[in-house]
Structure 1
Amino acid sequence: MTAMSRCAGATSWVRWIPGRSEAASGRLMPGTTRSPNPICIRIGRTLSGVVWIRVGFAPDVHRPSGARRRTMTDLTAPLTGNHRATVRPDGTRVIDTHVHVWALDDKPGHQPAAGAKIAWPKGPAPVEWLIGDMDGYGIAHSVLVQSSAFGWDNTYVIECLEAHPGRFAGIGLVDPESPTNAADLRHWMARGLAGVRFHPLFYDRDERGAWWVDAPENDALWEVARETGAILQFHMWPRHGEALARMIARHPGVRVIIDHIGKPDVTEASPHASFDPILRLADFPGVHAKIGDYQIASKQGYPWPDTHAFVTKLVGAFGADRMMWGTGFPGSGRLVPLADALAYVEKDLPLTAAQRHSILWETPAHLFGFTG
């Protein structure tokens, strides 16, 4: 027999196929039982009304112990953008500060951008899939980060924020080389974004490099960030840290996030001198650091032990009260199971319980304004 159920909080239906053992890592969230039918057919609807079908392994979805099975009442319940505040079975609360979602259809803002600095995606990654992951693991909130493949049009992220008020925050993109980027930032902040992201490391391929990081031409952009409270997020190599420090010094009070553990060179011998420009950014109280992209930085498998020393350095420099965690969903189809991404912070890194609470909840909740 098979069963049909609706993913909690998601605009999707799942047909569970029995007879398979738990997929991926097999790691269980405390207080959960194994999902007995981890292969599913997902049928859903994007925000623009396009119907999608996805067949494959269930995305690490576990059912809380003692939870009732869904009934036909559940199946016919109306689909809404509201959500119930999510607390995990062990009482902890989690915010994923780095996820990507996109639609691939004919609606404006739903197509990859010409000239994008990363490859176009081969398929959609709608917010409904993300919600299924979040609800399966008790993740209360996520920060939607505009994919570079879709350029400067942040429309889909805005649509997701509007469809699910209170559950998400949004980080968009504006062109760091555009003379209108200050006005562009003001426009997107008025639409509901929390800030924007920049990719200095992508511009190292260009003749001029990431010249714009500390360019006077972008002082107006930073001033708008200060006025609007926009968060400026940087995906960069450690060598970009000195230029960024100069810009931050000119614009005190602007909140900044350094992505992906600062992109360390894990092959460098201790004391990892090339990483120092990232650590020196901790001198500015408005700068925060994100634990993410660990599987890319690492040259080893889970639990990516060659990254641990760099996270420890970040905690020592910034303090856990200026750090956060993110998964990078969908991560090329969740190459890193969500269970492993959580265990990396909750079990594998040398962190205290108070530090984990700050990284997984308190810091991002304060920075992005999440409540409940």
Structure 2
Amino acid sequence: MNITRRTFVQGSVVGAAALANGIAVADQTAATKPAAGNWIDAHVHVWSPDTKKYPTSPEILKSDFQPASFTPQELFAECEPSGVNRIVLIQMSFYKYDHSYMFQAMRDNPGRFSAVALIDYQRPDLRPHVEKMLGKGVRGFRLHSHGDAGEWVTDPGMANLWKLATELDFAICPLINPNDIQHVDSLCQKYPTTKVVIDHFARIGVSGQIEKEPLRQLCRLSRFANTHVKTSAFYALGKKTAPYDDLIPMIKQVYDSYGPERLMWASDCPFQVADPHEYEASIALIRDRIDFLSEEDKQWMLKKTAEKMFF
């Protein structure tokens, strides 16, 4: 199934609540929230309503530009009440390779943001370009599979990028579909020392069902010690309805394979706050609702893993 950004987001408004099968949910009356003000959201997009100063790619349809804006100030209004004070910004595809707005947000809010950029891995000046971006605070580069990452495995530019990632110490952050996990596995076999962060469980569950074979493949990637997974985009996976307890069995399998030190929570705002979804419901799933997570596990998933990778 070719899952685009549009279909991924549209899936957020469908579904009905269900409890997890075979995994206990923490008793909310007894739950005690950890101290506020320490957490890291490992995946957020921002963009400006000022399209003259920050023009979007001509490939972007006006109907795709929703909401009209999501500025750092709008983000802080969502995340600060939940105790999140640092954020990993992911370059928005609206801007393609023009990172001006993301870098401006970082300059305006020192210490609050780290960054993952988009990259044309076939550009002839790949190394100097990567070094320049790292100098501006980028800590990873995002790859879009566009439905088929098979060509990545043999592409010379991709090989150079993965080699540079080890040499210059940055992360490769693939946005992939379930059928692409096998190709990332092949690249991890070739470059086992490269840091990898898989976005949104590799979109397992976007169909409404948690597919067993892709989940097995995702868990098998854990044999590469430098591979990590974002437990994120709950609004778009499984039943797509808060409190997202139906995702707990998938989280448990990934947790058992990777351990909390290689998992990081993220909201995927602003899509996580599109009606009827809310920011607090996303972080609460990890922070409050899963009884097999210890307080130390939560420290890793809500802060320390993202901190070691991106800050």
TM-score by length of 1: 0.68
Partner of 1:285 in structure 2? Answer: 225
Partner of 1:312 in structure 2? Answer: 252
Aligned partner of 1:139 among 84, 106, 110? 84
Letter matched to residue 90 of structure 1: A
1:102-181 equivalent positions in 2, closer than 5 A: 102-106=47-51, 110-116=54-60, 119-176=64-121, 178=123, 180-181=125-126
* Mapped contact 1:177–1:212 kept (Cα < 8 A): no
- CA distance in 2 between counterparts of 1:289 and 1:213 reads 19
* Mapped contact 1:174–1:184 kept (Cα < 8 A): no
Partner of 1:219 in structure 2? Answer: 159
Partner of 2:243 in structure 1? Answer: 303
Partner of 1:93 in structure 2? Answer: 38
Partner of 1:36 in structure 2? Answer: none
* Mapped contact 1:103–1:156 kept (Cα < 8 A): yes
Greater relative contact order (Cα < 8 A, sep 6+): 2
1:264 counterpart = 2:209 = no
* Mapped contact 2:273–2:279 kept (Cα < 8 A): no
Letter matched to residue 98 of structure 2: D
Q: Deviations over 1:21-59 (max 9, x none)?
A: xxxxxx9xx99xxxxxxxxxxxxxxxxxxxxxxxxxxxx
Q: 1:132 aligns to what SS in structure 2?
A: helix
Q: Could you tell me the percent identity over the aligned residues? A: 21
Aligned partner of 2:280 among 326, 339, 354? 339
Partner of 1:365 in structure 2? Answer: 307
Structure number with bigger Rg: 1
Partner of 1:44 in structure 2? Answer: none
Cα 1:352/1:244, change in 2 over 3 Å: same
Q: 2:288 aligns to what SS in structure 1?
A: helix
Greater fraction of residues in helix: 2
- CA distance in 1 between counterparts of 2:127 and 2:64 reads 27
* Mapped contact 2:115–2:310 kept (Cα < 8 A): no
Can you give the 5+ residue segments of structure 2 that lack an aligned partner in the other structure?
A: 1-27
Q: Shift of residue 259 of structure 1?
A: 0.9
Q: Shift of residue 115 of structure 1?
A: 2.3
Question: Which is worse superposed, 88-97 or 224-233?
Answer: 88-97
Letter matched to residue 158 of structure 1: F
Cα 1:215/1:346, change in 2 over 3 Å: same
Cα 1:121/1:180, change in 2 over 3 Å: farther
Partner of 2:8 in structure 1? Answer: none
Q: Shift of residue 162 of structure 1?
A: 1.8
* Mapped contact 2:47–2:71 kept (Cα < 8 A): yes
Question: Which is worse superposed, 274-283 or 184-193?
Answer: 184-193
Partner of 2:6 in structure 1? Answer: none
* Mapped contact 2:44–2:87 kept (Cα < 8 A): yes
1:189-268 equivalent positions in 2, closer than 5 A: 189-200=134-145, 203-204=146-147, 209-217=148-156, 218-265=158-205, 268=209
- CA distance in 2 between counterparts of 1:193 and 1:232 reads 11
- CA distance in 2 between counterparts of 1:322 and 1:331 reads 24
Q: Deviations over 1:280-307 (max 9, x none)?
A: 1111111111111112012252122332
Letter matched to residue 184 of structure 2: L
* Mapped contact 2:140–2:173 kept (Cα < 8 A): yes
1:324 counterpart = 2:264 = yes
Aligned pairs, how many? 278
- CA distance in 1 between counterparts of 2:66 and 2:141 reads 21
Q: 2:84 aligns to what SS in structure 1?
A: coil
Cα 1:317/1:116, change in 2 over 3 Å: farther
Letter matched to residue 235 of structure 2: Q
Letter matched to residue 168 of structure 1: F
Partner of 2:5 in structure 1? Answer: none
Q: CA RMSD in A?
A: 2.7
